[in-house]
Amino acid sequence: MSKEKVVLAYSGGLDTTAIIPWLKENFDYEVICCCIDCGQGEELDGLEERAKLSGASKLYIENIIDEFCDEYIVPCVKAGAVYENKYLLGTSMARPVIAKRLVEIARKEGATAICHGATGKGNDQIRFELGIKALAPDIKIIAPWRMTDVWTMQSREDEIEYCHQHGIDLPFDAKHSYSRDRNLWHISHEGLELEDPANEPNYDDLLVLGVSPEKAPDEGEYVTMTFEAGVPKSLNGKEMKVSEIITELNSLGGKHGIGIVDIVENRVVGMKSRGVYETPGGTILMEAHDQLEELVLDRATYEVKKDMGNKFAQIVYEGKWFTPLREAIQAFVDVTQQYVTGEVKFKLYKGNIIKAGTTSPYSLYSESLASFTTGELYDHHDAEGFINLFGLPLKVRAMKMAELNKK
C-alpha cells in the first residue's frame, strides 16, 4: 500500500530541511517539497539535490513572480493598501499566492496534507492556513512549530543535530542572524537588536536591497512613469511588464535610500512586534500611483477609497485574501481606477521621492478654476450663500449656547 503524501512548503533552509525527516519519522508520509519563487533572489541551484538528500521524493520549483505581481501586488497598489500607515504588505501579499500554488500541487499529487514551517507566534501561519482552508477545506494542515509534543527542537543547534542523526550533513551554521523574508516586493528583518524598540537598527549590517539615505548619492535622479487604469506600464519611456518595472524600481530606490521603514506593528495574534522593512521599488510605485490618483479622483470617491484602502490592507494582513469581502472591495477599487491613466515624474534624492510634474488626459484639475482670476464656472458671490448654509449648524449652536448662558 502506498504511503500518504504531504506537500511541504520548502525553502531549502535549516527549518524546512529538518522538517523532511521529521515528517517521515512521525507520520510515515511521502514528502513532496515545493519551493515557490516569488522573487527571493536566492540561489535555487542545488535545491533538488538538497531536498532528495534530505529524504524528499520530489521537488517542485515554481516561479510565480508574474502571477504575484499582476494578481496580488497590483490590486494592493490600486487600493493604496498600507497597514498601520507604514507597512506595504510585502510578506502578507505573497502568502495567499503561495498557499494557492501549494494546494494546486497537493491536488496534482493526490496529497492529503500540506505542511509549513511558520512559527506559532507569527502572522504567516494564519495567512497560509486561511488560504488553504478557503481553497481546499479537506486537506490536513501540519504546523510542526505548534506541535510541541512531537516537535521537540528548540534551537538551530537542535535542528542541525537532528539532521546529522538522520544522515543529512549540510553546510548550515548555528549562528543567530536576522530573521528575514524576501520576495520581489520587499525584504523584512526581525530579531537581534530589533527585538528591543529602544535600540536603533544597525543599518550597515542589516540593509540588503539598498543603502541608508546618508550613504545615497549627492545627486538626485529623475524618474518618469506611466499608468493605464491604475496599472504601471512604462518606466523612463520603456514599456515593461509589472515585474520588470518593480525590479528596476528596486534598483533605483535602493541606490537612493528609498523605502526603509522601522515599525512596531500589531500582529494578528495579539502581540506587538518590531521589524525593519526595505521596500524600495514598492514605495516608489505606491507614491507614483498616489501622485497620479490625486489628479484624477473626485473628492467623495477619494475619501471613501482611503477608508477602503485601509480595510483592504487589514484584510490582506490578516490572511483573508480568498474571501467575498476582498473581492468586493477590489471590485470597488477597480471602478475607481478606470481613469487613473497618465504620466508621473519625480526625483529620487536621499530617501525622498520629490514630485516633478503629473499629467493625465482625465485630470480634474482646472487651471482657470484654480487660479485667482475669475472664471466663468465660478462666481465669487456664490460662496457667500454656500458658507451661510454650510456654517448654519455652528451658528445655531452658538446662538443656543449664548441663550442658555444668559439664564
Give the DSSP letter string of 332-375. HHHHHTTT--EEEEEEEETTEEEEEEEE-TT----HHHHSSSPP
Domain 179-297+340-359 classification at class level? alpha beta
To the query of whether residue 95 is one of the catalytic residues in this protein, the response is yes
To the query of whether residue 15 is one of the catalytic residues in this protein, the response is yes
**d(Cα 165, Cα 375) in Å, to the nearest integer?**
83
Say if residue 351 carries a ligand binding annotation: no
Say if residue 15 carries a ligand binding annotation: yes
Say if residue 87 carries a ligand binding annotation: yes
The reported pLDDT for the residue numbered 375 is 67
The proportion of the chain whose per-residue pLDDT surpasses 70, expressed as a percent, equals 99
Sign of CA dihedral 180, 281, 79, 338: negative
* Catalytic choice (37, 57, 156, 179): 179
Average pLDDT of span 310-331: 98
pLDDT tens digits, one per residue of 53-104: 999 999 999 999 999 999 999 999 999 999 999 999 999 999 999 999 999 9
**d(Cα 115, Cα 141) in Å, to the nearest integer?**
6
Q: What CATH code would you report for 5-78+89-165?
A: 3.40.50.620
pLDDT tens digits, one per residue of 222-244: 999 999 999 999 999 999 999 99
Global pTM reads 0.96
To the query of whether residue 124 is one of the catalytic residues in this protein, the response is yes
Bridge partner list, 358: 344
Q: How is residue 24 written as a grid cell?
A: 517521515
* Catalytic choice (124, 182, 274, 360): 124
To the query of whether residue 45 is one of the catalytic residues in this protein, the response is no
Note whether 122 and 269 are within 8 A (CB): yes
Helix (H) or strand (E) holding 294: helix 280-296
Bridge partner list, 63: 37
Same fold: 5-78+89-165 with 179-297+340-359 = no
The reported pLDDT for the residue numbered 373 is 67
* Catalytic choice (50, 54, 95, 181): 95
Say if residue 273 carries a ligand binding annotation: no
* Catalytic choice (15, 50, 54, 182): 15
The reported pLDDT for the residue numbered 43 is 66
The reported pLDDT for the residue numbered 378 is 87
Note whether 257 and 215 are within 8 A (CB): yes
Q: Where are the domains of the chain?
A: 5-78+89-165, 179-297+340-359, 373-406
pLDDT confidence band for 156 (50 / 70 / 90) = very high
